[in-house]
Structures are given as C-alpha cells and as structure tokens.
Amino acid sequence: MSNVVRLIRPLVGHVSGQTPETMTRILDDEVNLAIWQRQLPVHISHFAELLLSLGEPLADALVLEMGDENAQPNLKGLASRFNDLDGYEGFIADISWLVSAYACLLGAKRVGLRLRALDKAMCPRFHVDHVPVRLITTYAGLGSQWLQEGVMNRRHLGQAQAEPAEPSRIEQVNTGDVALLKGEKWQGNEGAGLIHRSPALADGERRLILTLDWLA
C-alpha cells in the first residue's frame, strides 16, 4: 500500500467585521477575503459624491516607498485638482491611514496606489488577481462584486456564459467598506484567489475607487 499522503487544501472563505482588526484575518490560510465593514465619515462621503458629480476625469497612480514603518506616505499631488472641495483633507487623511495600515499588515516596502473615477466596469468579467493581496475600497458608487467559493468553475473564468445568472449568488462589497482580496500570487493560495469583478454601471453612473497593491 502506498504511503503517499495527499495534502488537502482547506476550504477558503471570507470574514467580515466592524473593526479594523478584521483586516488582519487576510493572513489566515483559509481566508481569501477580509472585509472591514465601516461607515464613512459624512465629510468624506460628501467629498466623494461631490467629486463624482463634477463629471471630471480622475485616474491618479502613485508608487509609495514605505521604508520606515512609522513614515507617512507621500500623497502629494493625489487628486490635487479637487483640493478646494470641502472634505478633501479628511479624504486624503483616510487614504494615508489605509496605506500605512496596509503596509504595516503585509510588511510592504513599496505600495502601488490607484485612485480612479469610473463610469464603466473596468473588469466586467469574473476573474482572479495575479497579485498577493489587493486592497479595494469604493468611496462613492457601487462596490465590487465577488463570489463564494464553488459558485463558479474556475476553469471558466472570463467566460460570460459560465457566470452565475441569479443575482442572489453574487455578493457585493458595500460602499465605504475596506476589502482585502487574496490573489494567486500569495504563497500557498495558488488556485484559490478570490473571484470578483467590477459592477456594471448605468448611463451617468460613476464610482470612486481606491486600490492598493503590494509591490515589494
């Protein structure tokens, strides 16, 4: 009889909670999505909604060096065209806190930041990210959509006809919530990256989204 032992991957799932500590659960082997459920301060949500209402383009990207864990990220120039809107300083302070928390959690020395106002789904098909862990938060507009494990065959990712037709089987992150999504490049998570997509937007509908990536 063969003595070969089969290693069985633990079931992957998600966790959510109402405190920032929930984000640390993304480090657990069996977790590929951790959601910090939070209520945005009124001045930040109002700023985000006002920014979108202007209808102006926004697609800012920064590479942030985080050599000192106590250093504040240099966000100079981020969304600077909107710095005269009420709530701008609080909005930037919130992003600064998220960058610092993300870098501290992962031990990241370099973080890629993207802040975008979108009027269409950037990634309309369900897919997985080929990154270790990505942070996504939507400041205004619809949040990202995702699937529980087993809802869609991973071999058919990217194929519209293979996606679930029933809306009840599609989960959605709430506006303001902070989601940490584990991708395919997290060690030991190969074949278990979170399946997700951008939400479809109606004509005239927009969303303001922040993403953070661990670059080094």
> Phi/psi zone of residue 162: left (φ > 0), alpha (ψ -120 to 50 degrees), beta?
alpha
**pLDDT score at 150:** 80
Which pLDDT band holds residue 116 (cuts at 50, 70, 90)? very high
Which pLDDT band holds residue 198 (cuts at 50, 70, 90)? confident
> Taking 70 as the threshold, does the pLDDT of residue 3 lie above it?
no
pTM: 0.90
Pairing of strands 31-36, 13-17: parallel
**Taking Cα atoms as reference points, which of 118, 120, 153, 102 lies closest to residue 48?**
118
User: What is the average per-residue pLDDT within 101-127?
Assistant: 91
**pLDDT score at 7:** 44
46 Cβ contact partners less than 8 Å away, ≥ 6 residues apart: 86, 87
**pLDDT score at 11:** 59
* DSSP-derived secondary structure letter, 75: -
**Taking Cα atoms as reference points, which of 84, 137, 117, 134 lies closest to residue 201?**
117
* DSSP H helical ranges for the chain: 42-53, 88-106
Which pLDDT band holds residue 173 (cuts at 50, 70, 90)? very high
Distance of CA 32 to the CA centre of its chain: 12
> Taking 70 as the threshold, does the pLDDT of residue 1 lie above it?
no
Tell me the residue type at 69. E
If one compares 89 and 127, the residue with the highest pLDDT of the two is 89
Which pLDDT band holds residue 153 (cuts at 50, 70, 90)? confident
> Taking 90 as the threshold, does the pLDDT of residue 105 lie above it?
yes
**pLDDT score at 6:** 40
> Taking 90 as the threshold, does the pLDDT of residue 123 lie above it?
no
**pLDDT score at 159:** 81
CA dist 144 and 208 (Å) reads: 11
Q: What is the pLDDT of residues 41-94, one digit of tens each?
A: 999 999 999 999 999 999 999 999 998 777 789 999 999 999 999 999 999 999
> Taking 80 as the threshold, does the pLDDT of residue 201 lie above it?
yes
Instruction: Count the residues in the chain.
Output: 216
Query: To 5 degrees, how large is the angle CA 45–CA 49–CA 51?
Result: 115
* Cβ burial 117-127 (10 Å sphere, 16+ → b, else e): bbeeeeeeebe
CATH of domain 16-214: 2.60.120
**pLDDT score at 30:** 92
- Mean of all residue pLDDT scores within the chain: 90
Pairing of strands 133-140, 178-182: antiparallel
**pLDDT score at 20:** 97
Place of tokens 């928390």: 101
